[in-house]
Amino acid sequence: MTQSPYRWVIVAAGGLLGCVAIGGMFSLPVFLQPIAKDTGWSVTGISSAMTIGFLAMAFTSMVWGTLSDRFGPLPVVLTGSTVLALSLFAASHATSLLAFQVVFGLLTGASCAAIFAPMMAAVTGWFETQRSLAVSLVSAGMGMAPMTMAPLAAWLVSGHDWRTSM
């Protein structure tokens, strides 16, 4: 059986989507000081949103995986991408620390899980050979997030306020 060359497009899309999703989460340290300065919230309180995000990723990945098995990865990843964009927008407009923690922590974390787990599973389904390489490349795309998205966020913050940058 010949395998579709399109499978490498799936790998590239998975790496890129993972990089953007994880980058949205891992860029929070860039925003810490600007958020604290603008809102008066404690750095500890703001940082706890990332911890909440990691917990949300852990717990919701099981739900997203189940939904991906049932409906396929496309609607799950599309939903996760939409929720990620909306959660970052909503977090940038949060008026209280609790609202920021809930929106950034729960929604951003859950949306990252909706992209991470289904993309890894989807890529394995496209490959009979070179599966390990494909999964490694998707994972590497996600691993590139701190090196690419954090500097992008820092560049945006240097020219705009944190709310616009987020």
What CATH number has the domain bearing residue 70? 1.20.1250.20
Helix orientation angle between 7-26 and 145-159, rounded to the nearest 10 degrees: 50
**How many domains, in total, are found in the chain?**
1
166 domain residue, yes or no: no
- Domain for residue 94, yes or no? yes
Whether the pTM exceeds 0.85: the reply is yes
Range of 37's domain?
Answer: 11-157
Residue 164 lies in a domain: no
Mean pLDDT of 73-89: 95
- Give percent above pLDDT 70 in the chain: 99
Residue 2 belongs to some domain of the structure: no
Within a domain: 75: yes
3-class DSSP state of 72: coil
pLDDT at 2: 61
Question: What tens digit of pLDDT does each residue of 26-43 get?
Answer: 999 999 999 999 999 999
- Provide CB contacts within 8 A for 7, sequence distance 6+: 123, 126, 127, 134
1 domain-assigned: no
From CA 99, how far away is CA 96, in angstroms rounded? 5
pLDDT in tens, 102-128: 999 999 999 999 998 898 888 988 888
Give the per-residue pLDDT at 152. Answer: 92
Does any domain span residue 162?
no
- Neighbouring CB atoms inside 10 A of 1's CB total 3
Q: Cα–Cα distance between 57 and 92 in angstroms, integer?
A: 20
- What is the arithmetic mean of pLDDT over 140-158? 90
